[in-house]
């Protein structure tokens, strides 16, 4: 595993650098989040050894099992859907939550964070491709959501997260990223109190280069680093 992993990480790093070059961006404007869902803690430790600094999980329960084995200092991102009843646990486990998509969830996360004397960094998930099966806010609801969520104590909104449609159609993928980027810019111009729009989390193994070309600052990459997962790994959270 170890040599393979180093090689794949190196390749992903090279591809990120090349995409940045094409887009006229600096490679250090991109945070690589290694998506570790279904990956055993021992392999995550190897990845950390090989230079991974940010990891992403999509389920609270899986993180609860694996995180005690990981060193302090690795930055932990929740990238999957979060149910309000699991938000207490999520606040204790994660540094960033990419799947904020309701005021109810924001209030629950914020309350818990305030109890712990901290705040929780969140990205608002947008359903940019308007797929009925996807989580995230409808793009039409984003601005009014941001106007409200900025006032919730304990929450720091730092950007947006989106997923491209599940398709090989590069045009449709790019369109979803372009739309997310333009929502991001529009929201930025509104300068909502309590909301800082600095991060755009978009791009996975199959589409991260397009995402970088269209403005992503965080990419969430699993299989291109760790190899293919089983079907189980594609459950979207919970
Ligand atoms: C699994 C997952 C990823 C990574 O997917 P890969 O195709 O393996 O890179 C990224 N984002 C989310 C939300 C995921 O659930």
Q: What is the pLDDT of residue 211?
A: 98
pLDDT at 227 over 60: yes
Cα–chain center distance at 118: 20
Report whether 87 contacts 112 (CB < 8 A).
Answer: yes
Q: Which atom of ligand 1 is nearest to the CA of 99?
A: 13
Instruction: Give the distance (Å) from ligand 1 centre to CA of residue 222.
Output: 6
**220, 221, 227, 238: which to mutate for ligand 1, most atoms within 8 A of CB?**
220
Instruction: Give the distance (Å) from ligand 1 centre to CA of residue 36.
Output: 9
* Mean pLDDT (the chain, rounded): 94
Tokens coding 155: 């929450």
Provide the pLDDT confidence category of residue 22 given band limits of 50, 70 and 90. Answer: very high
Instruction: Give the distance (Å) from ligand 1 centre to CA of residue 14.
Output: 19
Residue 33 sits at the vertex; the CA angle it makes with 4 and 52, to the nearest 5 degrees, is: 50
pLDDT at 80 over 90: yes
Residues 6+ apart with CB under 8 A from 85: none
Provide the pLDDT confidence category of residue 238 given band limits of 50, 70 and 90. Answer: very low
Q: Which of 220, 226, 224, 225 minimizes the C-alpha distance to 57?
A: 220
**204, 209, 218: which to mutate for ligand 1, most atoms within 8 A of CB?**
204
What mean pLDDT do residues 41-69 have?
97
Cβ of 82 closer than 6 Å to ligand 1, yes or no, is no
Q: What are 98-111's pLDDT values in tens digits? A: 999 999 999 999 99
Length of the chain: 238
Tell me the DSSP string of 96-148.
EEEEE--HHHHHHHHHHHHHTT--EEEEEEE-TT--TT--SB-GGGHHHHHHH
Q: What is the pTM of this model?
A: 0.95
User: CA neighbours within 13 Å on the CB side: how many for 29?
Assistant: 19
Report whether 34 contacts 56 (CB < 8 A).
Answer: yes
What mean pLDDT do residues 71-93 have?
96
- 119-133, 181-195, 200-214: least confident range: 119-133
Cβ of 136 closer than 6 Å to ligand 1, yes or no, is no
Cβ of 203 closer than 6 Å to ligand 1, yes or no, is no
Q: What are 142-193's pLDDT values in tens digits? A: 999 999 999 999 999 999 999 999 899 999 999 999 999 999 999 999 999 9
Instruction: Give the distance (Å) from ligand 1 centre to CA of residue 79.
Output: 8
């Amino acid at each position: 595993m170890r040599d393979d992993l180093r090689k794949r990480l190196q390749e992903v790093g090279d591809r990120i650098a090349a995409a940045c070059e094409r887009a006229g961006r600096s490679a250090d404007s991109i945070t690589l989040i290694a998506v570790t869902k279904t990956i055993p803690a021992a392999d995550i430790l190897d990845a950390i050894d090989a230079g991974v600094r940010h990891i992403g999980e999509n389920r609270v329960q899986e993180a609860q099992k694996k995180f005690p084995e990981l060193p302090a200092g690795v930055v932990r991102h929740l990238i999957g859907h979060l149910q309000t009843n699991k938000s207490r646990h999520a606040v204790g486990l994660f540094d960033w939550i990419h799947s904020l998509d309701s005021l109810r969830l924001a209030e629950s996360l914020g309350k818990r964070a305030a109890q712990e004397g901290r705040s929780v960094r969140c990205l608002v998930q947008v359903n940019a491709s308007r797929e009925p099966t996807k989580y995230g806010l409808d793009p039409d609801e984003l601005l009014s959501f941001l106007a409200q969520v900025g006032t919730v104590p304990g929450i720091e909104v730092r950007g947006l997260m989106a997923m491209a449609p599940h398709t090989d159609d590069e045009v449709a993928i790019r369109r979803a990223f372009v739309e997310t980027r333009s929502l991001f810019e529009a929201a930025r111009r509104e300068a909502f109190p309590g909301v800082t729009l600095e991060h755009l989390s978009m791009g996975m193994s199959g589409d991260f280069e397009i995402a970088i070309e269209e403005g992503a600052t965080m990419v969430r990459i699993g299989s291109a680093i760790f190899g293919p997962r089983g079907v189980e790994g594609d459950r979207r959270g919970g």
